[in-house]
Structure 1
Amino acid sequence: MPVPVDELTDDEPFPVTPDTSEYEALDFLVRHHEYGFSPREISDRTDINESSVAKTMRHLKEKDLVERSDGIYYVDPVRVETLTARLKSVDAVVRLFEATPDDDAYAEAGWEEQVPTIDSTGGSETSSFD
Structure 2
Amino acid sequence: MPVPVDDLTNNDPFPVKPDTNEYEVLSFLVAHHKYGFTPSEIAARTDLSEASASKAMARLFEDRLVERAETIYYIDPHRADELKQRLVSLDSAVQLFEKAPDDAYAKQGWEQEVSSIDRGERTEPTSEHSKTAEERAQALIADIQDRRAEE
* Alignment TM class, shorter chain as reference: 0.7 to 0.9
The residue type paired with residue 77 of structure 1 is P
**AA partner of residue 87 (structure 1):** L
Q: How does 1:11-30 map to 2 (within 5 A)?
A: 11-30=11-30
TM-score by length of 2: 0.64
CA distance in structure 2 between the aligned counterparts of 1:69 and 1:31, rounded to whole angstroms:
19
Q: Deviations over 1:35-61 (max 9, x none)?
A: 101100100111111221111111000
Q: Aligned equivalents of 2:5 and 2:34: distance in 1? A: 36
Question: How far apart in 1 are the matches of 2:70 and 2:87?
Answer: 26
Name the residue aligned to 2:97. 97
Flag structure 2 segments of 5+ consecutive residues without an equivalent: 108-151
**TM superposition shift of 1:4:** 5.0
Instruction: Detail structure 1 runs of 4+ shifted over 6 Å in the superposition.
Output: none
Partner SS, residue 68 of structure 1: strand
TM-score (norm 1): 0.73
Higher strand share: 1
> What is the match of residue 124 of structure 1?
none
Greater share of residues in helix: 2
Write the letter of the residue equivalent to 1:83.
L
Describe the superposition over 1:71-117 as per-residue Cα deviations: whole angstroms up to 9, x where unpaired.
Answer: 0110011110111111111111111011011246539xxxxxxxxxx
Aligned to 1:32: 32
Change (3 A) 1:4 1:43: same
The reply to whether residue 76 of structure 1 matches residue 76 of structure 2 is yes
Q: Partner letter of residue 15 of structure 2?
A: P
Report the 3-state secondary structure (helix = DSSP H, G, I; strand = E; otherwise coil) of the residue aligned with 2:78: helix
Q: What letter corresponds to residue 90 of structure 1 in structure 2?
A: L
Percent identity between matched residues is: 57
Matched, 1:48 2:71: no
Name the count of aligned residue pairs: 107
1:62, distance to aligned residue in structure 2 (A): 0.2
Could you say which structure has the larger radius of gyration? 1
For 1:15 and 1:93, the matched residues in 2 are separated by: 15
Higher RCO by CA contacts (8 Å cutoff, separation 6 or greater)? 1
